[in-house]
Amino acid sequence: MSKSKIYSYDYGEYEDGSKSAGTMGADIIADPELPSLTELVIGCWGDAWDESCQPVIDALISHADRFSQIEKLFIGDMGYEECEVSWIMQGDYSRLWGAWPNLKELTIKGSTELKLGEIRHEKLETLEIICGGLPKDVIQSIQSAHLPSLKKLLLYIGVEYYGFDGDIDTIRELLAQADFPSLEYLGIVDSEVQDDLTAVVLESKFMKQIHTLNLSCGTLTDKGGQLLLEKLPDFPSIQFLDLHYHYLSNEMMEKLQKLPIKVDVTDQNEPESYQGEIWMDAMLTE
């Protein structure tokens, strides 16, 4: 049976000077429960908006032998009341891939100062990055990654103001160049150009092998919905279409729900009009 534990500091512990990113690694290593854990969750390290989690990452790498049983790792699990996602100071994971060969799932929240380096890992099955804007160099690291066991890829694309410095072609190149022979779940989510990304995803080679397609949390409209209606029948492997948080009309929602697969169209949003312009927002940005 898997066992999970979250390690997190509150602001009071940071403010009185007793805790910081520099102490968290030692606290985790000293925890008598550590040998029984299979999942490690790193929450707020006290001043996540000002100090990088690099000391935590470095401790996990330097003492990798103490974490050989860990299969799931989540760094940055905190709500907006602790730190807005766009403020979370991440770190460099380049050395983690070689240090943690038994890792199966990695979730990272936040993209400021995030570096993945050269990704080579034989056993990793899930990679999720939750952020308000995904930098192009991070996308390119994923694009050239060696991840033969990867089953689930979930990327929050976000917006330019909070870190996304690519374009539609960046995502097209990612999907064209990446080699993930075991991929079953593809999520390209949380974009202000979700219709365009939908078109790119539907053209990708992964559509022939995945069973779950996640295009949620963005500005998907009936334009993207119509593409899905037209193209999805060509991909019989798809079993679940996740579109939650969207700008689809009631009519389009009904049409999509008639597809012979499971479809999530919850959390419908309405565009806003301001000074003659129409505004739509991705779910997670700041």
Predicted pLDDT of residue 233: 95
Strand runs labelled E in the chain: 4-7, 39-42, 72-75, 105-109, 126-130, 152-158, 185-191, 212-214, 240-242, 262-264, 272-274, 277-279
From the list 217, 218, 204, 129, the residue with the least C-alpha distance to 174 is: 204
For residues 85 and 78, give the distance between their C-alpha atoms in angstroms, rounded to a whole number. 8
Please, what is the end-to-end C-alpha distance for the chain in angstroms?
A: 36
For residues 73 and 65, give the distance between their C-alpha atoms in angstroms, rounded to a whole number. 15
- pLDDT > 70? residue 1: no
Kindly tell me the number of DSSP H helices and DSSP E strands found in the chain.
9, 12
Percentage of residues of the chain with pLDDT beyond 70: 100
All domains in the chain, ordered by first residue: 1-107 (3.80.10.10)
Q: Which of 10-19, 22-31, 100-109 has the lowest mean pLDDT?
A: 10-19
From the list 187, 123, 113, the residue with the least C-alpha distance to 155 is: 187
Task: Enumerate the β-bridge partners of residue 154.
Answer: 128, 187
For residues 135 and 99, give the distance between their C-alpha atoms in angstroms, rounded to a whole number. 24
Per residue in 71-98, pLDDT (tens digit) is 999 999 999 989 999 999 999 999 999 9
Please return the burial class of 79, using the count of CB atoms within 10 Å of its CB with bins 0-12, 13-18 and 19+.
Answer: exposed
Predicted pLDDT of residue 102: 97
Per residue in 105-161, pLDDT (tens digit) is 999 999 999 999 999 999 999 999 999 999 999 999 999 999 999 999 999 999 999
Task: Look at residue 156 and give its three-state secondary structure.
Answer: strand
- pLDDT > 80? residue 205: yes
Confidence (pTM)? 0.96
Predicted pLDDT of residue 11: 76
